[in-house]
Amino acid sequence: TEGLRNLHAMLGAPGRRWLINTPVVVVSAAQAAACRELGFVQPAIVAREAADQAILEAIRTWRTLRISI
């Protein structure tokens, strides 16, 4: 959560616009809440745990849902 907030703070206005329009995968509800508070356009994708496999599964699920829409 702190890292996400620091990145948001370090970017200038153009960088923040890019960041909040980029899909993001997080590993906790707190990080997802931080994304909402920072104004991310799309809801954060929350992986089931902070492990490579779980993050990949979250990305695959997001991609499948995005393609089927």
**pLDDT of residue 69 exceeding 70:** no
**pLDDT of residue 63 exceeding 70:** yes
Q: What is the pLDDT of residue 3?
A: 93
What does the alpha-carbon distance between residue 34 and residue 9 come to, in Å, rounded to a whole number? 13
Q: What is the pLDDT of residue 67?
A: 78
Q: What is the pLDDT of residue 65?
A: 84
**Model pTM score:** 0.85
Q: What share of the chain is helix, strand, coil (3-state, %, to 5)?
A: 65, 5, 30
Q: Where are the beta strands (DSSP E) in 13-60?
A: 25-26, 45-46
